[in-house]
Structure 1
């Protein structure tokens, strides 16, 4: 029998299976039937902002060669991201410390390989974004899960970290987080960043939902720690999922290691997508209109879902997810989500994707789809649960 590698043991990312099931359910609908409400995936229903798409079109029509860029990306894009940190956070982040990546998904393995060794222990809150643990596992590292709940707003605390023996080699935080949509306050993030730096614990701060917060101030770990790694992306606020563009803010000691890894693993992010990403920074009115639509959908769901039967929701500070405790209705969120798709025509992600121990009692609902579809969800759920 042929040997398989450690990477073959990585668990699945179940939301991708839900997407496939929802696609199949949509194809099977008879003509005239109500469509499937897509609440399973964190992909904005809007496309790239118009100015970004037009920048790509102009470059293609001009016959630009679109070859490899430097491994860390176009200098002009890196400079524009650097300016974004000054404008949005008041933080100084030199362009040379910014690496453009193939989405945030391409950023995580670069960061993990450069920062950790096989066997290293990396802590994270549970529930968590599944690829954190899955990528670490595939690379031979060990996820250390910190069970969190509404008492800490599904975010880790220094107290939790201090109880670990031994202390972890790294910590991943996400604010706003997926799946709960909760955030660390600037003071909480600063305290965690300083605590990690003082103890030689590498902080990885996932900031891909920045721009999508509803009343709470956003802060970046890059402003609080010289050793932290920051991950961000053009997929969420900038609505450019399929363009596959993200970035890292790197500390000095990881610059060359990450550059060498990027050269070998990815060469560079797509040239045309980098041009579009740079132009996206000039599309704020359109992007803010998208955010306003998410906020309206969020308000409609927070108002309508409790009376429909989903009455235990996490505090949704940002991103575009609701984390629903459905334990009063089921202890099998996989079966519950499958029934909701088949019987109510609503695709949602079972919580086991995000929390292996307690996720059977939770469901994640994404509200970045079309606004009218999101407004329809509470009534569909009410009718379904009333059967």
Structure 2
């Protein structure tokens, strides 16, 4: 967010900035969702509070979505609509964990997990997950963390931010079994499901839902990524039976209810036309990803994660490290001198992130192509 703030300042000064720091799809919401919002606001309808866990119609539509994508028969009463996935994480951690509980997560990983858990008094157990395990936790790594002191929870993300790596069905089944055997609550971040780049013939092209394998898992997702609705602040959570009432009670105190206009408009996200639009956007992400992979030598960085899903390119700085020392210094210079905004890796990995950067390719192929040209020219200047 500091980088975004600096981008805003530079643009206000008249600078031409290519911003690839935010995970924000350039296309925005599906057209039917935007149309529904316009009609809603033009109707003069009073937009009042809704139920704390969201309107019944939207909870039913989300349950139906899981039937279509994962062949799951979900009770809409176990769907909680939240103020973005961020609201879901706060509610899930409040309900599932107590002060002092040890909760494990992969490093590198999304920094908000760690920050929210710290704020709630939990002990964060960061597990080093490098390229040898495709940046994802394994039962063996969990065994080691659990042996130090018992874990209460595990957060996984597939596709993950910042690496874009995924766990397949067998890997997720092993993690679910490990959690069940050790009494560890699993929280599965699936907000990038659907934004995936599977190999031909893949069994689970959109990702595997943890609820296919474990009824006690908490699943968190969002309208922000596949549907491109970042600013609408609307997410959801699939709740196990024992957390349904606690989350309901907490939700009414934390945010009272999710945004009513976004909820009613989001009903249109589940129309067939909206899915087609979103799939077309994912196809464009795939083309942009391919451009990045083919341009690795021009970028002049080191080894990169495979980006199986999401829209991030996580790379070691490679030869740039010796010149700049840290990803923060490098990203700052790239922004000020070349007008390209990327994210330094420190927030994602507080141990080794100083040598890595994350580039978001959600802005589209033309924008990313321009950024690649600028980065190459920046390095050529020495």
SS, match of residue 364 in structure 1: strand
Which contiguous aligned blocks of 4+ residues in structure 1 show a shift greater than 3 angstroms? none
Residue number among 21, 46, 49 corresponding to 1:40 in the alignment: 21
Note the 1:110-125 alignment, pairs <5 A.
110-125=91-106
Cα offsets for 1:132-172 (capped at 9, x unmatched): 00000011111100011111111110100011222311000
Partner of residue 268 from structure 1, selected from 257, 262, 278 = 257
Aligned length: 368
Give the whole-Å Cα distance in 1 for the aligned partners of 2:299 and 2:97: 46
> What does residue 287 of structure 2 align with?
296
CA RMSD of aligned residues (A): 1.1
CA distance in 1, matches of 2:328, 2:41: 45
Question: How far is the alpha carbon of 1:370 from its aligned partner?
Answer: 3.3
Question: Where in structure 2 are the equivalents of 1:36-115 lying within 5 Å?
Answer: 36-115=17-96
Structure 2 unmatched ranges of 5 or more: none
Mapping for residues 155-166 of structure 1, pairs under 5 Å: 155-164=136-145, 165-166=148-149
Matches within 5 A, 1:269-284: 269-282=258-271, 283-284=274-275
- 8 A contact 1:73–1:269 mirrored in 2: yes
Match of 1:205 in 2: 188
Look up the match of 1:170.
Answer: 153
Secondary structure (helix, strand or coil) at the match of 1:163 reads helix
Q: 1:224 aligns with which of 213, 229, 232?
A: 213
2:25, 2:225 within 8 Å by CA — same for their partners in 1? yes
Distance 2:299 2:142 in 1: 38
For 1:385 and 1:60, the matched residues in 2 are separated by 49
Q: CA deviation at 1:122?
A: 0.4
Distance 1:253 1:228 in 2: 11
In the superposition, the TM-score normalised over structure 1's length comes to 0.93
Residue in structure 2 matched with residue 11 of structure 1 by the alignment: none
C-alpha offsets along residues 42-94 of structure 1, whole Å, 9 cap, x if unaligned?
01111211100111222222332211111111111111100111110112221
Residue 307 in 1 paired to residue 301 in 2? no
Asked if the contact 1:204/1:230 (under 8 Å) is kept, the reply is yes
Q: SS where residue 263 of structure 1 aligns?
A: helix
**How far does the alpha carbon of each residue in 1:244-279 deviate from its partner, in whole angstroms, 9 at most, with x for none?**
100000000000000000011111101110111111
